[in-house]
Chain A
């Protein structure tokens, strides 16, 4: 394709594909090529991730979903007009005119207008309370209306419709219905049996599914009150979300006289040119190979085809594989290749497990040699492998059912990801092949997912390929003879567990000694905190004495949490969340005196923010005088043991949870571990202390206590599991001793107990066998080691306050007593806050 020195390109539409086109064009631009790019978008915000739109209801903000901010366009010299759709194209003059009257000339025009929601012409669709599910604005409207609604329905049982239905439940509606015209859910992706399995999974979550329903009218005066169906049934609802498919946005193309299809879509050839060769169409507005590609990966591929051609390359858009895998409301659903081909054109193998909600189907060629397609519901771990096997026409093993059932005896079915050909597409969003990834790993030394994302963009789109990318990294490393050991860093050729044993055996007590005996080089920010944590877990000596202060991570170094701006926050220990009025007054007085922002934490404590480094010892001196101790909020250590008020006050409580929480917190305070430890004690089964979200949680029963372990909140919440039931206090404590010590000795660095358990071979059964049944015969040793740590516990802040030597390190400057003059605060709700960083 001809390129001239300065090519004027106008992009009509700023959705995901329009954005991707700009990105690809910039990255493919060669020296000497110069583009003036102008983008018009109809929506008020720059392109955002519509694929993950539902996450808006799960707390993601418009910013989180954004593909690139306005500054990205500015930095790259792209003129971006938002809330300003193109309304007219003059193909003779080669110019576009926008809603706001901007006129821009083009050499090439790229239509990326996407699609809108298809709204069927049912009487009553215009009523209040009827919505579509397409943009952030739509979601905001739905969110607002849902506050006063009780029963909601979604019209359409496809992928987006089901997500919308889940969103209605999440928004607090009492009933959420799905109404589908076809006899099954997701009719384009799965078959009847798969739909039945999916339906039972969704119903167990509270969705009500209505199939074979043709909606005749939407009833109600001004606002929707119900849906009337052709079979004379009626559904009482007060809001409706329409998700009945998409309609390509081809209005402007029509006005401009471009060829469009009667049922929608701008007709394009294999080069994605419309009937006017200077005008391209990409994404969901384009009709290529007689179809609309309503997925993101082919949209990105189209963007790449046009970007390649406009920068002088050659590329065609070929019929694109429409295989998909998604997690729908917690249920995996996938289909690939030809999912619907029937016997005798193939051999079909089906597996169904109603108890577990799993349905799998594969279609194998009649000669049994290749995979034609398939469907996975409820469990889709094998999706990537199956898809590649299907696409690359890999010869199947003789027992092809092993592909979905796993091999029963003998080795894993299939030869794994390393057996794929080099041109197998691993990341379909960014068109990265196995060969490209292996090259980056093997030749260019990119050994992490992060590095690969940076160098070849693999895994930056939907992220579905990341497990395969990880397998490829491990595979290439193994092929190169690199034994992938989980070593600490370049300075220690040991795993954390090995190093802990060595340090213990040799009785080493400083970082320098450990580095001299077992390491090389000068250490770093990875091994220093790790060794410091091991030393504290083994000997429990003051972490700032000897050479240990400079080997501590940011927070441990000054026994406080570093915050924006360089000030620190202070958290005194308040065991079990119980505090006297006198102590509350002291906290208030200290906060007033040192001008600190105060906030109640999630762990039933009080956090004091904005303390200058130099003030920390004085603050603690006053707190300690009032009977407080360090809360270790800064350490990878026991934080807090939350409690509910229990049987002393609560009319439901069956045990004294506060007393037990205080006893547990006092026992393990100061205990340092591979990661932070949180705990809670609840006084009855109502579980107000949320003990099942903790590393170890205790719940009262009328016979004793249930001990749960390995839960956490955070980014990936996980419920704790029962380790022992109805045990008395002493047994409970003994089991916690063993459990914590076993975790401390065997976990990888910075691994919470939940992740530790997830990686443990044998899982919960093995953990029980070790901790409760003592199959390894180490229980006594674990208990003894724990007791030793408890016996030597001292409040580390008291030691600092009382030691002039340690105290003198708590200054910002070494040559003047003044405080850091660069620290500033802002005001908010009658307190101070950190100044926002730039």
Chain B
């Protein structure tokens, strides 16, 4: 798998997919080094986000299939199973204090999507 090492920010950028592999205003899941990463193409905001694919509530690999949207200004994703919603910026669960997911930086370059791990 193609990777780019960014020594300044101490991340390694992993090539995940092409831009059109992720539906507009939706998500998709990439398998990167044995990890499942959910990638969101938030076209309405002109932003890309990436998080764990696993929802911590029932350990289901499903967040990439969730609906995205916003709560006030905060971009969020809703788990398809029980509608726990998570901030795409911080990973904090917005309707249950107990949960939080990891978020990852996304870089889009020449029609390719890279995730920083």
Residues of chain A at the chain B interface (Cβ within 8 Å): 490-491, 512, 521-525, 527-529, 547, 549-554, 557-558, 562, 564-566, 809, 812-816, 818, 820, 822-823, 837-838
Q: Which residues of chain B come closer than 8 Å to A815, judged between CB atoms?
A: 16-17, 21, 30-32
Inter-subunit contact B29/A550 (CB<8 Å)? no
- What are 16 A-B pairs at a CB distance below 8 A? A524-B67, A524-B69, A528-B69, A550-B67, A554-B81, A566-B61, A566-B62, A812-B61, A813-B29, A813-B31, A814-B17, A815-B30, A820-B36, A822-B54, A837-B58, A838-B58
Which residue of chain B has its CB nearest to the CB of A813?
B31
**Minimum Cβ distance to chain B for residue A821 (Å):** 8
Inter-subunit contact B67/A565 (CB<8 Å)? no
**Minimum Cβ distance to chain A for residue B84 (Å):** 10
Inter-subunit contact B23/A549 (CB<8 Å)? yes
Inter-subunit contact B36/A550 (CB<8 Å)? no
Task: Name, among A552, A565, A813, A816, the residue most crowded by chain B CB atoms within 10 Å (CB to CB).
Answer: A813
Inter-subunit contact A814/B29 (CB<8 Å)? yes
Which residue of chain B has its CB nearest to the CB of A816?
B31
Cα(A838)–Cα(B56), bound, Å: 10
Cα(A198)–Cα(B37), bound, Å: 63
Inter-subunit contact B67/A566 (CB<8 Å)? no
Inter-subunit contact B23/A550 (CB<8 Å)? yes
Residues of B in contact with A, size category? 35 or more
Q: Which residues of chain A come closer than 8 Å to B42, judged between CB atoms?
A: 522
Cα(A820)–Cα(B61), bound, Å: 8
Q: Which residues of chain A come closer than 8 Å to B58, judged between CB atoms?
A: 564, 837-838
| Prevailing SS type, chain A contact patch | loop
Given A490-B72, A522-B44, A837-B58, are A554 and B65 also a contact pair (CB < 8 Å)?
Answer: yes
Top 5 A-B residue pairs of the complex, sorted by shortest distance between their CB atoms: A550-B26, A554-B80, A524-B69, A525-B78, A522-B70
1/0 per residue, CB under 8 A from A, across B67-85: the answer is 1111110011010110101
Q: Which residues of chain A come closer than 8 Å to B69, judged between CB atoms?
A: 491, 521-525, 527-528
Which residue of chain B has its CB nearest to the CB of A511?
B25
**Minimum Cβ distance to chain B for residue A565 (Å):** 7
**Minimum Cβ distance to chain B for residue A449 (Å):** 16
User: Of B30, B71, B75, B76, which is within 8 A of A813 by CB?
Assistant: B30
The answer to whether B93 has its CB under 8 Å from any CB of chain A is no
Which residue of chain A has its CB nearest to the CB of B76?
A524
**Minimum Cβ distance to chain A for residue B48 (Å):** 13
Cα(A813)–Cα(B17), bound, Å: 10
**Minimum Cβ distance to chain B for residue A534 (Å):** 16
The answer to whether B50 has its CB under 8 Å from any CB of chain A is no
Q: Which residues of chain B come closer than 8 Å to A814, judged between CB atoms?
A: 16-17, 21-22, 28-30, 39
**Minimum Cβ distance to chain B for residue A73 (Å):** 20
Which residue of chain B has its CB nearest to the CB of A837?
B58
Instruction: List 8 extra interface pairs beyond A524-B67, A525-B66, A565-B60, CB under 8 A.
Output: A490-B71, A525-B78, A550-B68, A551-B25, A558-B65, A813-B29, A815-B16, A815-B17
The answer to whether B9 has its CB under 8 Å from any CB of chain A is no
Inter-subunit contact A512/B30 (CB<8 Å)? no
Cα(A512)–Cα(B27), bound, Å: 16
Cα(A547)–Cα(B42), bound, Å: 12
Inter-subunit contact B81/A547 (CB<8 Å)? no
Inter-subunit contact A523/B85 (CB<8 Å)? no
Q: Which residues of chain A come closer than 8 Å to B17, judged between CB atoms?
A: 814-815
Cα(A557)–Cα(B21), bound, Å: 16
User: Of A522, A549, A557, A818, which is within 8 A of B80 by CB?
Assistant: A557
Q: Which residues of chain B come closer than 8 Å to A550, judged between CB atoms?
A: 23-27, 67-68
The answer to whether B109 has its CB under 8 Å from any CB of chain A is no
Cα(A504)–Cα(B44), bound, Å: 24
Cα(A603)–Cα(B102), bound, Å: 42
Q: Which residues of chain A come closer than 8 Å to B85, judged between CB atoms?
A: 524-525
The answer to whether B59 has its CB under 8 Å from any CB of chain A is yes
Inter-subunit contact A524/B24 (CB<8 Å)? no
Inter-subunit contact A812/B80 (CB<8 Å)? no
Cα(A566)–Cα(B58), bound, Å: 11
Q: Which residues of chain A come closer than 8 Å to B68, judged between CB atoms?
A: 522, 550
Q: Which residues of chain B come closer than 8 Å to A557, judged between CB atoms?
A: 65, 80
Cα(A753)–Cα(B22), bound, Å: 38
Inter-subunit contact A822/B61 (CB<8 Å)? yes
**Minimum Cβ distance to chain B for residue A41 (Å):** 29
Inter-subunit contact A528/B44 (CB<8 Å)? no
**Minimum Cβ distance to chain A for residue B97 (Å):** 11
Inter-subunit contact A551/B45 (CB<8 Å)? no
Inter-subunit contact A547/B67 (CB<8 Å)? no
**Minimum Cβ distance to chain B for residue A809 (Å):** 7
Which residue of chain A has its CB nearest to the CB of B1?
A815
Given A550-B24, A562-B80, are A528 and B59 also a contact pair (CB < 8 Å)?
Answer: no
Inter-subunit contact A524/B31 (CB<8 Å)? no
Cα(A316)–Cα(B70), bound, Å: 50
Q: Which residues of chain B come closer than 8 Å to A525, judged between CB atoms?
A: 66-67, 69, 78, 83, 85
Q: Which residues of chain A come closer than 8 Å to B71, judged between CB atoms?
A: 490, 524
Inter-subunit contact B75/A522 (CB<8 Å)? yes
Which residue of chain A has its CB nearest to the CB of B70?
A522
Task: Name, among B28, B39, B85, the residue most crowded by chain A CB atoms within 10 Å (CB to CB).
Answer: B28
Inter-subunit contact B81/A562 (CB<8 Å)? yes
Q: Which residues of chain A come closer than 8 Å to B60, judged between CB atoms?
A: 564-566, 837
Inter-subunit contact B59/A838 (CB<8 Å)? yes
Task: Name, among A491, A550, A551, A566, the residue most crowded by chain B CB atoms within 10 Å (CB to CB).
Answer: A550
Given A524-B70, A813-B30, are A837 and B16 also a contact pair (CB < 8 Å)?
Answer: no
**Minimum Cβ distance to chain A for residue B91 (Å):** 17
Q: Which residues of chain A come closer than 8 Å to B24, judged between CB atoms?
A: 547, 550
Chain B residues numbered 1-20 whose CB sits less than 8 Å from any CB in chain A: 16-17
Cα(A550)–Cα(B80), bound, Å: 12
Which residue of chain A has its CB nearest to the CB of B29?
A813
Q: Which residues of chain B come closer than 8 Å to A524, judged between CB atoms?
A: 67, 69-71, 76, 78, 85
**Minimum Cβ distance to chain A for residue B2 (Å):** 11
Q: Which residues of chain A come closer than 8 Å to B44, judged between CB atoms?
A: 512, 522-523
